[in-house]
Every structure is written in C-alpha cells, then in structure tokens.
A = this chain, B = another copy of it.
Amino acid sequence: MRRPTLEAVAARAGVSRATASRVVNGQTTVAPQIRDAVLRAIDELGYVPNSAARSLVTQRTDSIALVVSEPPTRVFSEDPLFSTVIRSASLELETVNKQVVLMLASSAKSHARVERYIAGGHVDGVMLISMHGADPLPSALSRLRVPVVSYGRPAVPVDIPYADNDNVGGAETAVRHLVEQGRRRIATIAGPQDMIGGQDRLTGYRNVLRDSDRRSIVAVGDFTRESGAVAMRQLLGDDPQLDAVFVANDLMAVGALQSLRQAGRRVPDDVALVGFDDIEAAKYTEPPLTTIRHPVIEQTAAMVRLLLDLFEGLPAEPVVLPTELVIREST
C-alpha cells in the first residue's frame, strides 16, 4: 500500500534503478525506447519521487522559505504589499521549479520554530521580509549559513543581500515636488519609526525641508488607513495653515484625504497631498493621488535573483531600485 519507489518503476520497466532515475531527471543519455518504457511504468504506477530521499543525497529541497516576520494583522491588512510580494515571489520561483513556503514569524516562539525548521534543512534558502528594527531573525538566519536575502534593507546592520527601493530619494522627490508647486507649509505623516521604511521616508522629507529652509511639521502614523486619518486631524490642529502634506504611504494618505474632506479642505486647492507606494487604490481616490511608485514586483524579482545568485555562488550585492513620481490630481 506504500507509494511506489523508483525500484518498482525500474523493475516494471525492466531496467536498473540508475536508468529509471536518469529518465525521471530528464537526462538525455537514455535510449528513446527504454525511456518510453520507463515513462510508461511511471505513469502506470503513479510514481512520484520521494522528496526526502532525493534531498538526502542532493542536499537540495527545491523549496524556499518566505519568512514574514510581522504580526499577522499587518500581513493580512488592506496594504497589498505582502500579498504582492508573496504572489510575485511564487510566480518568479515557479519558473525555476522551486516552491515557496510561506512562514509567519510573529512571536518569539515562532521565531524559534522558524529557525529550527530552516536549520533542519527543509529549505534551500530564505527570503526575509521584515520591517521592524528589533527583529532578531535577520542576524539569526545569517548565522545558519543558509542563503538569506531580504526584501528591504534589514533594520539591523547585517551582512545579507537585499533588494530595496530608494525610500530616501523617493521621499525627497515627493517633497521637492511640493516645494516646486510653491507650497510653503509642508507637513508629513510619517510611518512607524521602528520600521526602516518609516525612518527613511522621514529622512527624505527632512532633507528637503532643511535645504529649502522650511519648518518641518510631523505626525506619526503606523501605515494603516485609520492612523492616517487620525494623524491628519492632528496636523490640522497643530497647524491650520498647512498647505501640503507628504504622507509616507498611500494607505495613510487615503485616511488623510478623508479627514481633509471632513475638515472642509479642498485637495489640492487648499492642501496638496503626495503619497508613497502607488497602490491600486491611489488611482481611485477623490481626487486621484499623486504618489511615489514603489516597484514591489520588480523589487521582489530582484530579491529572488539575488537568492538564485547566492545558489550559484555568484556575488550578490544589495540592489536599490529607483522610485518614480506619479503625478495625479492631488497636487
């Protein structure tokens, strides 16, 4: 009742195990006639290679962990970031016949589990997506001598290749755009400051404001829509005269738009708004949102390529993708 083995296939086809193995692995050095016999046997028996046995000798598993080191509430939130990364990483790796295994690592306990799982050789490599500074996983995993790459620059300095987008530059572009529009009092709704993206985008904002001799007006959100709405109300209270806001992500910008509307401010006449990410929803707000495009799919592809390079023993240097200003009607 056990699943058929290669042995059984070989016996049925009247060849040796070695030959059957060659056929299974698509080697060309097999006579067509024998090849067909083996294929028929495989088909008749419904043979599928035992992955454990194969991994044992090849030292490969052809599966790759995507470790999402965030509380599930964020992973499965309105923000399409994680889902896009998961989906495009899967797609990208399918083309090279590798399977993505998604693992959530929210608590400290699950960190340990993830570490053990990876140390146990279940996967050939790890893609890490983790935005929080305190995260112990990047360094822990890089110690395991397993190929590891990261989506986004790890918050702790650790020597693993990563693919990032130019958060600082993007934020600078956004704010410079507002300056060029003649806006005088430019506020920002920053992201959480324990996330690298939140920090970098705030840095970009500060850089331009300093250079253009303006006062910075900062409220901090947590990248959710609701927090954007709250932060906007707060900003309006702090400085009713503000005439522009750079919001660190589009989701918060959607919330901010809502608050602006409730406060009776017209966008962009009274207040101009620039977001960050260029999520789908940014096209459908009222008015459509000027934003900085965050190339998630390309960045994911770059990360996957880094990992594949590591497999090949090639040098893998961090990649930082450029961002791009997308002008719509909110400025």
Q: In the complex, are the beta carbons of A90 and B110 less than 8 A apart?
A: yes
Chain B residues whose CB sits within 8 angstroms of the CB of A110 once the complex forms: 90, 94
Chain B residues whose CB sits within 8 angstroms of the CB of A76 once the complex forms: 75-76, 80, 82-83, 86
Known: A86-B72, A87-B104. A94 touches B113 (CB 8 A): yes
Q: In the complex, are the beta carbons of B48 and A116 less than 8 A apart?
A: yes
Centre residue among A48, A49, A80, A94 by max chain B CB count within 10 A: A48
A99 within 8 A of B: yes
Q: Interface code A54-95, partner B: CB below 8 Å = 1, 0 otherwise?
A: 011000010100000000110110101011001100100010
Interface residues on A, range: 35 or more
User: Of B63, B72, B80, B109, which is within 8 A of A122 by CB?
Assistant: B63
> Which A29-55 residues have a C-beta within 8 angstroms of B?
48-53, 55
Q: Interface code A131-169, partner B: CB below 8 Å = 1, 0 otherwise?
A: 000000000000001000000000000000000000000
A11 within 8 A of B: no
Chain B residues whose CB sits within 8 angstroms of the CB of A109 once the complex forms: 94
What's the minimum C-beta distance from A85 to chain B, rounded to whole angstroms?
A: 10
Complex Cα distance, B105 from A220, in Å, reads: 38
What's the minimum C-beta distance from A173 to chain B, rounded to whole angstroms?
A: 28
Complex Cα distance, B103 from A94, in Å, reads: 13
Complex Cα distance, B127 from A279, in Å, reads: 32
Q: In the complex, are the beta carbons of B48 and A119 less than 8 A apart?
A: yes
User: Of B3, B56, B103, B119, which is within 8 A of A52 by CB?
Assistant: B56
A120 within 8 A of B: yes
Complex Cα distance, B83 from A82, in Å, reads: 13
Complex Cα distance, B76 from A252, in Å, reads: 18
